[in-house]
Structure formats: C-alpha cells, structure tokens
Structure 1
C-alpha cells in the first residue's frame, strides 16, 4: 500500500487539493450545498466516482446544506492512512463539487479523537475496543477504530502507572492549521488556560476553567 507522508499531503493541500485538510488519519473536506437535494446528489456522485475508481465509499456525512467527506485507506493490519489512491479520489471529488457549484469550507473541517493514558495497552485496549465496537479485535496498534465509524477513534497514550485521582481521558480536537490559533485564542478568552505550546502547531495543550485538559492538533510538523 502506497502510503503518503504528511509533508507531501500538506504540499498537495496547499496546491491542487486546497479543499482538503489532513485531520488525524483521514483527508477531510467540507462542502456547502445550496439545498439538501443538491447535497444528496453530490453524495451520490461521490459514491459513483469511488466505485468507478475501485475505492471504498468514503466516510460521508450529509447535513443541512453541508457535506463532510473523509478519505482514508485501511492497510493489512487495520491501520488507517492516506494513500496516492485517496489523493486521486480527492481530486476527482473536488472536480465534482465544482461541477455542482458547491463551495468548499476547509477551515470548518474538524475531527475529534478520544485519548486515554494507559500503562498497559494490552490489558486496557481490548476492553475499549469490545465496549465501543463490539469486537476486542478492533484494536489496531495503539488505536481503536470502529469499522462503521459510529464512534470516534480512541488512541492510547502510554504513561507510567500513577496514583489516582488524575485526568486520564482527554479530547484531541483536529483542526485545519489556518484556524487553530484563532480557536485556541477563543478558548482562552472563554476562560481556558494555555498549558503547553512547545509542540505547536502539531499540538497545543489547553485546560478548561476546572483544569480538564484538551489538545488542539494540526497536521503541521508531523511526519
């Protein structure tokens, strides 16, 4: 499987794939339709294009006047990644959107992952895979993926065992790089605290007024 690295993806999204953003594993885009019927027709056209390309149907969410599309491939281990085939289909979908006269909203694309600190992934991971997906085998590497995408992905951050109480769960909010700073500023203005930006823009750690932490993540600065 011809995986594509994040630097190449960022170069492509800065050029001919400007509708798209890398958010966690998938390549993601948001389009605005004039009405729900146009949005539904766009979704049908995407499905037909994917079938013609021999690609699995993308993850698509049709909302009120909005269509969110996420593209990824699954390797032999069950891990999710972006491949050259995904980039090709993204370019086709962009062309379809233009033919439908849909506007793209790349800055509105967002994705949430759940992150859990664990000292023993082999013990903890299968429990959450079974609970969230119904199958303990849906743990791939350090992440639980639901094949039907009913629930967010859960990835496990390895930590030494520590006494309770402490926060072990946190959200990873993936955003388009161009909007991350404004979102962080808005959260701080709303009472949050900047905890750590040493790894920004890859991730910035914030805390809410009660001390609960969250990471704002982008694809910039990642391999």
Structure 2
C-alpha cells in the first residue's frame, strides 16, 4: 500500500525540518560544507538514512555545498519523506553544518500548445526526455529542467515561459528583484501562490511559491 501523501503545510508544521522548503520537485534543503570531502561524508550518511527509509533523494554535492531533494515522480510528499528530512537535518546538526534555504529554487519550462496539437514528442526527441503522466516530460536521469505542456493560447505573451519555484518566504523579494532589473509585473491576482512577470522584450517568467504554502 502506498504511503498517504501530506501537504506542504503539514510538512512545515512538523518539528526538525526548519531547513527545508517545498518546491516543485519535493522538499529541498541546502547546507554549506568546507570541502568536497566533507560533502561526500555527509552524502554517505544521507544515503544510509535514505536506504533505511526506502527513499531515493537527489543529492547534489559541490565543493562547498550539498543540496538534497526528496523525490517522488509527481513531486508529492509523504510521511517517509518527512522522516527522511528530519533524519538528514539531524545528521547535518551533528556535523555542525549550516543551512541556507534562501538559495533554493527549482524550475520547469511551460510550453503552451494549440488545442489538439501535441508537441511533447518533439521536445522529448530534442532533449532526450520521456513522458511523465499525461502532460509533462522529464529527464530520465533527473538532471535537466522538466517540461509541462498545456493547451493554452494566450495573446501578447510568448508561448514558452519558465516557472521558477522558490521558498514562500523568498518569493516577494524575488519578484521585486525582477521588477528592479527591468521586468514588468503582468499579473499578481494569484499572489502569494504565483506572480507572472515579463522581460522588456516580453519573455515570460512565473515566480511560484504555491508548493511551499499549498494546503
């Protein structure tokens, strides 16, 4: 039997997960390290905890950083994801590592297509991606930015835009930074779930916080 999913709100209400934020792909956390060796030691302990809990998180090790993302195909969370996040945070505290959730983000490319037209095979062939459910395409190696395809024709905006998932407590600052950099606020009617912005040449970007606050 599959584990029951939990909301981002339920995840955040639990103890021991202050370092984590819920983005498109799942729960994500970041820690600073002093060296690649220290990061690898941290990752080895994460691997042991993940195996014990039956989870396969993504662990990105860099010379001075480790980023961990819980992973289920649809980006949802369950109790074992929560338990894994709590365990990893405890391991990080034992190791004296500092977290910086302000740097966290995840992205997807949103492709609008005319009703009755399926452009997903084209993009999958070009990027070496594969189907995810009925409307998305993903990198089978979980490295590249995923695509979402929807039958939307909207005048006055490019037919491809980028969705940027950020922590809820960073979203408004990110929107202000985009506007200060010459961007235009197109639609804030869905805030604080997401804001739609455009570049001076009408390139579309959505700043999304809904995954981190959705009930």
Matches within 5 A, 1:159-198: 159-160=152-153, 167-198=158-189
Q: Distance in 1 between matches of 2:91 and 2:128?
A: 33
With normalisation by structure 2, the TM-score equals 0.89
Contact 1:28–1:68 under 8 Å retained in 2: yes
Unaligned runs of 5+ in 1: none
* Root-mean-square deviation (Å): 2.1
Answer whether contact 2:59 2:66 (CA < 8 A) is retained.
Answer: yes
Contact kept in structure 2, 1:32 and 1:103, CA below 8 Å: yes
Residues 35, 9 of structure 1: alpha-carbon distance in 2 compared, 3 angstrom cutoff: same
Q: Which residue of 2 aligns with 1:113?
A: 108
Separation (CA, whole Å) in 1 of partners of 2:48 and 2:117: 40
Q: Distance in 1 between matches of 2:115 and 2:22?
A: 29
1:129 aligns with 2:124: yes
Q: Where in structure 2 are the equivalents of 1:180-219 lying within 5 Å?
A: 180-218=171-209, 219=211
Is the 8 Å Cα contact of residues 28 and 69 (structure 1) preserved in structure 2?
Answer: yes
Map 1:1-223 onto structure 2 (within 5 A). 1=2, 2-12=4-14, 15-56=15-56, 58-74=57-73, 79-120=74-115, 123-135=118-130, 138-160=131-153, 167-218=158-209, 219-220=211-212, 222-223=214-215
Deviation string 1:138-179 (CA, Å, 9 cap, x unpaired) is 23232212231121111123314x78x951111111111111
Residue ranges of structure 2 left out of the alignment (5+ in a row): none
Task: For residue 73 of structure 1, give the secondary structure of its aligned residue in structure 2.
Answer: coil
Distance 2:188 2:143 in 1: 32
